[in-house]
Amino acid sequence: MAGEPAAGAGSHWVFGYGSLIYKVDFPFLQREVAEVSGWERRFWQGSHDHRGTVAAPGRVVTLVPSPGAVCKGMAYLIDESVFGHLDHREKNGYHRHEVDISLSGRGNSVAGVLYVADEGNHAFLGPAPAAEIAAHIAAASGPSGSNRDYLLQLAQALRDLDAADPHVHELAQLVRQITAPGS
């Protein structure tokens, strides 16, 4: 891994590309706008525990390999003890994956991890037409709230970061149309 070492023994960089951008329910030492290369965000992971249920899973984002792609999000420098919380939060099919994270505020990269749910996990839903994914998201809800809110909060967080993500923004537009009064 290229880049500078983590700031202090026992601390690690974690890249957030979904709800970790806007729902920061863990302590961190530093936070930076960041990017990872070779990955793109997709609503291909089932959520049985947060934005859906076992009987009716929601759809949340994961990253899929995509040569040449750049995914913008947030990086957090955390104490190693925070992994217990994050591992529990990301338990439904996600695993840690080592990556180089480019920190926008510093112009350099650091070694870090992100949570990815690949197609081999039990909750993976995979690709589908945008209209089908949007209808799924519009109908799903779980212990952490509606799947619609997850999508729209992510879309707003990406706009706030000035991050272009055609997949997320198309789904947000479709879900708004589906759930608009009188639809």
Strands (E), 50-149: 58-79, 95-103, 108-116, 141-142, 145-146
Name the DSSP class of 124: B
Catalytic residues: 90
A 10 A CB-CB count for 159 gives 14
Amino acid at 150: Y
- Sequence-distant (6+) residues with CB within 8 A of 66 are 38, 39, 40
Residue 135 corresponds to which tokens in the numbers above? 């209808």
Q: What are the tokens at 116? A: 């990815």
CB 76 within 8 A of CB 155: no
The overall longest dimension of the chain from CA atoms, in Å, is 56
